[in-house]
Amino acid sequence: MLWNVARSCCLSCAALLVWPHWPGNIFSTSSTPAREVHGLSLFILVITGGIFIGVASLLVFALVRFRHRAGDMTEPPQVFGSTQIELAWTIIPILLIIVLFLGTARVIFAVQDAPKPASALDVTVIGHQFWWEFRYPKYNVVTANELHVPLSDPQAPTPTFLKLTSADVMHSFWIPRLAGKTDVLPNRVNEMWVDPHEPGLFLGQCAQFCGTQHAKMLLRVYVDSPQDFQRWIAQQQRAQQSGTPDPAPSPQGPNLGNDNPAAGVPPNTPPTRGEIAAQLKESSDAITPEQGRRVFEEQACMNCHTISGTAANGRFGPDLTHLMSRATIASGIVPNTPENLRIWITTPDELKPGSLMPAMHLNDLQNAQLVAYLTTLR
């Protein structure tokens, strides 16, 4: 039995050190707070491992040495206790605890009370049932589910300081390879920071049960080189054009955009009702981004979603302004492809049952138009 225990412990430790590149391995860290914790955890592992080996050997020795021998009818000598021995195994653990505690306290203060450098980037994280909203107040950028942070040079650190709060229930923000988790609470702002030293994609997910789809509230963090990060910010800052995305709209073409009704129609020859109806019929059958935008604005989509530069400014769901710049949809659960977008819009429950995104009950044509529009949101 002891052998089982010891072996499984050794195997698990070995496994963790040999396969460092599992996406959530807390022993394969690449950011400062997680590294501090990693170092501390190895220190604690060594001490607790030593205690285990000591106590387990005593126990095994006692089990073997003091087993009852067949035929022995006598009782062993009765020993009732010993004050010296009791004192010994009280004082030694106290000393061990002082060591453990001081080592721990140092890391607590180093991580929690770290001063914020002027070069730090601020990001506000807002947890929602069941997705993440990220706001970059300095850059006026809002995005969802995929956080971009700059790589930090140890010589001139540019850490990212996160302010976390929730729009509904409790969540927890956890990217194991970057930092420990911090709970995301409504009516409260928590803070944490990361100082990543390695570019790439880091995976995590919500770590506090928050309702039906807690399991699919995934989280992706991209650590970009400073140039890539600036490029990404610049791209996210662009608003979408509110009118037709067509750069040179034909004067004859349909233009019923609600923002600029006079642009495409000659002012002195108002179309007859029949002509409008025909144009409408013809154009509304076209699978164009422009028609998709109309569906977006006429159906309920814009009540919940924002597309900056257009009339859509809902706040309940993720900001879709640069939807196509994200690799996944529905909080990281499927790749961001037109087909998945179509499934997500018609039957969100197929991908994420219990998600708060309603099934939109669009017909196939509207759906195709909407997807055509969404795929232009780069």
Partner 1 sequence: MDAPSTPIPSGIEGALDVTPQTRPRATYLEVLHDWIVTVDHKKIGLLYIGFALIFMVVAGLEAMAIRIQLAVPHNSFLDARSYNRMFTMHGTTMVFLVGMPILFGFGNYLVPLMIGARDMAFPRLNAFSFWVSAFAGIFLYFSFIGGLGLAGAGTAPDIAWFAYAPLTERPFSPGHNVDYWALALLASGIGSIGTAINILATVFCMRCPGMTLSRIPLLAWIYATVSFLVLVAVSPLTAAQVMLLIDRYLGGHFFDTQAGGSAILWAHFFWIFGHPEVYVLVLPAFGFANEIIPVFSRKAIFGYPAMVAATVGIAFISLGVWAHHMFTIGMTSFGNTFFTLSTMLVSIPTGIKTFNWLATMWGGKLRFATPMLFSVGFLFQWVIAGLTGIMLSVSPWNWQLHNSYFVVAHFHYVLVGAILFMIFAAFYYWYPKMTGRMLSERLGKWHFWLMIVGFHLTFDVMHIPGLLGMPRQIYTYEPDRGWTLLNQIVTFGAVIQAVAMAIFVYNLVHSYFAGKAAGPDPWDAWTLEWSTPSPPPAYNFPVDPVVASRRPLWDLKHPEDPDSAFE
Q: Exposed, middle or buried: residue 158 (CB in 10 Å: 0-12, 13-18, 19+)?
A: middle
Residue number, 164 or 302, with CB nearest to partner 1: 164
Residue 140 contacts partner 1 per CB under 8 A:
no
Residue number, 113 or 364, with CB nearest to partner 1: 113
Q: In what order do the strands lie in the sheet with 200-205?
A: 146-150, 218-224, 200-205
Window 169-198: contact mask with partner 1 (x via CB under 8 A): xx-x-x-x--xxxxx-xxxx-xx-------
The Cα–Cα gap between 33 and 295 comes to 46
> Per the omega criterion (within 30 degrees of 0), is the bond before 130 cis?
yes
Residue 56 contacts partner 1 per CB under 8 A:
yes
- The distance of closest approach from Cβ of residue 218 to partner 1 in the complex, given in angstroms and rounded to an integer, is 7
Window 148-167: contact mask with partner 1 (x via CB under 8 A): --------------------
- The distance of closest approach from Cβ of residue 75 to partner 1 in the complex, given in angstroms and rounded to an integer, is 5
Q: Residue 150's beta-bridge partner residues?
A: 224
The Cα–Cα gap between 263 and 303 comes to 27
Contacts (CB under 8 A) with partner 1, residues 8-37? 8-9, 12, 15-16, 19, 22-27, 34, 36-37
Q: How many residues bind partner 1 (CB under 8 A)?
A: 97
Contact 237, 229 (CB under 8 A): no
Contacts (CB under 8 A) with partner 1, residues 108-137? 108-109, 111-113, 129
Residue from 298, 109, 143, 317 nearest 219 by CA = 143
For residue 107, what are its two tokens?
Answer: 């890391």
Contacts of 54 (CB under 8 A, 6+ apart): none
The Cα–Cα gap between 290 and 244 comes to 6
Residue number, 209 or 316, with CB nearest to partner 1: 209
Contact 251, 264 (CB under 8 A): yes
Contact 196, 152 (CB under 8 A): yes
- The distance of closest approach from Cβ of residue 47 to partner 1 in the complex, given in angstroms and rounded to an integer, is 8
Residue 75 contacts partner 1 per CB under 8 A:
yes
- The distance of closest approach from Cβ of residue 198 to partner 1 in the complex, given in angstroms and rounded to an integer, is 16
- The distance of closest approach from Cβ of residue 190 to partner 1 in the complex, given in angstroms and rounded to an integer, is 4
Q: What is the dihedral of CA 150, 192, 208, 217, to 10 degrees?
A: -20
Contacts (CB under 8 A) with partner 1, residues 312-351? none
The Cα–Cα gap between 265 and 267 comes to 6
Among 5, 46, 277, 280, binds partner 1 (CB under 8 A): 5
Residue number, 149 or 192, with CB nearest to partner 1: 192
- The distance of closest approach from Cβ of residue 187 to partner 1 in the complex, given in angstroms and rounded to an integer, is 4
Among 46, 105, 277, 327, binds partner 1 (CB under 8 A): 105
- The distance of closest approach from Cβ of residue 292 to partner 1 in the complex, given in angstroms and rounded to an integer, is 30
Query: How far from 179 is each of 102, 106, 152, CA to CA, in Å?
Result: 21, 17, 14
- The distance of closest approach from Cβ of residue 52 to partner 1 in the complex, given in angstroms and rounded to an integer, is 6
The Cα–Cα gap between 133 and 184 comes to 12
Among 18, 71, 84, 94, binds partner 1 (CB under 8 A): 94
Contacts (CB under 8 A) with partner 1, residues 207-266? 207-216, 218
Q: Which amino acid is at 157?
A: P
- The distance of closest approach from Cβ of residue 73 to partner 1 in the complex, given in angstroms and rounded to an integer, is 10
Q: Which stretch binds partner 1 (CB under 8 A): 202-210, 271-279, 280-288, 358-366?
A: 202-210
